[in-house]
Amino acid sequence: MSRVAYVNGRYLPHRAASVHIEDRGYQFADGVYEVIAVADGALVDGEWHLQRLRRSLDELAMRMPMSPSAMAVVLRETARRNRVDNGIVYMQVTRGVARRDHPFPPAAVRPALVVTARRGPARPPAVLDEGIRVLSLPDIRWQRCDIKSVSLLPNVLVKQAAREGGAYEAWQVDDGGYVTEGSSTNAWIIDQDGTLITRPVENAILNGITRRHLIELARAAGIAVAERPFTLDEAKAAREAFITSTTSYVLPVVQIDDSVLGNGRPGSGSLRLRAMYLDFMAGAAAATA
């Protein structure tokens, strides 16, 4: 757990950190967030995360609370004060504090910024060695999933349903039978020809930063990548599947609902991609040292 939090210009003990009861993030989920990996003390793809933050804010007609360069300083300082060399930094921007009313408050209201940091959780060896199971569920979210909004209740519900069903993650499926994404991850399959397939960037998914970088790494390695929708049936017939996110990196999927993929063990393609991404993270950290 974070020991020190940054709240609207002040570094405070985590137990003493608080926001106003009329913060619009609390009352309306009127805010956005980012989670950035920290590897050997360096922010991984920090610039890309801040670019995505800016895009989310622009889509909601919300101001940046400070310049990207100043925000990067706050992120690094919050990680340092929490002694997080390997873990995550969480940042949340809301529209600020105003009398409860649905329309946007006056432009003079300042956006609120909260930043915390924590060390990365140690994943059970079985998750890495044996792969994970995902459970398919209907996608009940709003139609702007490209905005990284703090309004995550539908994601919470499907994640909980997956855990109660004995699965690690949920894959959400739209009305046409196509997989959109996980509750907190992007979804991928590898077809029988070895092509990586993941849904293209549009309003039904979040353009994951790990997703973006893995596409670059795969193409640089000569691996075919297709950004297109895929059905749940296609996923169950795939050679391999996996998820990506800031905290999961690349995590092999070995079972979807009751369908076992391949021999029920993490496939060579997924493991290769995971190794490639971990190598990238190590190199990125070394470059900023």
Domain extents for the chain? 4-119, 125-285
Answer yes or no: is pLDDT of 87 > 90: yes
* Ranges assigned E (strand) in 120-262: 132-138, 169-173, 179-182, 186-190, 196-198, 225-227, 240-245, 249-256, 259-260
Mean predicted confidence (pLDDT) in 8-26: 96
Confidence of residue 122 (pLDDT cuts 50, 70, 90): low
Predicted confidence at residue 117, as pLDDT, reads: 97
What are the CA-CA distances from residue 123 to residues 22, 51, 100, 169, 285 (Å)? 37, 29, 41, 14, 21
**Structure confidence by residue, pLDDT tens digits, 141-157:** 999 999 999 999 999 99
Q: Which helix (H) or strand (E) holds 216?
A: helix 209-220
- 4 neighbors 80 (Cβ within 8 angstroms): no
Q: Is 75 exposed, middle or buried (0-12, 13-18, 19+ CB in 10 A)?
A: buried
CA–CA separation, 232 and 92 (whole Å): 33
Question: Which residues are the active-site residues?
Answer: 148
pLDDT digits (tens, 9 = 90+) for 253-284: 999 999 999 999 999 999 999 999 999 998 87
Q: Which of 247, 270, 207 is nearest to 121 (CA)?
A: 247
Question: What is the CATH class of 125-285?
Answer: alpha beta
Cα dist from 199 to 139, 157, 181, 214, 247, whole Å: 14, 22, 8, 14, 20
CA dihedral 285, 187, 71, 61 (to 10 degrees): 160
- pLDDT level of residue 71 (50, 70, 90 thresholds): very high
Report how far Cα 59 is from the mean position of its chain's Cα atoms: 18
pLDDT for the residue 94:
98
Angle at CA of residue 187, ends 184 and 190, nearest 5°: 155
Q: Is the pLDDT of residue 121 over 80?
A: no
Start-to-end CA span in the chain (Å): 25
Q: Residue 47 — very low, low, confident or very high, per pLDDT cuts 50/70/90?
A: very high
DSSP-assigned letter for residue 103:
S
- State yes or no: pLDDT of 242 exceeds 80: yes
Q: What is the pLDDT of residues 178-235, one digit of tens each?
A: 999 999 999 999 999 999 999 999 999 999 999 999 999 999 999 999 999 999 999 9
Is 124's pLDDT higher than 80?
Answer: no
Average pLDDT over residues 165-186: 98
What's the mean per-residue pLDDT of the chain? 95
The pLDDT-based confidence of 26 (bands split at 50, 70, 90) is: very high
Options 3.90.1150.10, 3.30.470.10, 3.40.630.30, 3.20.20.10; CATH for 4-119 is: 3.30.470.10
Tell me the pTM: 0.95
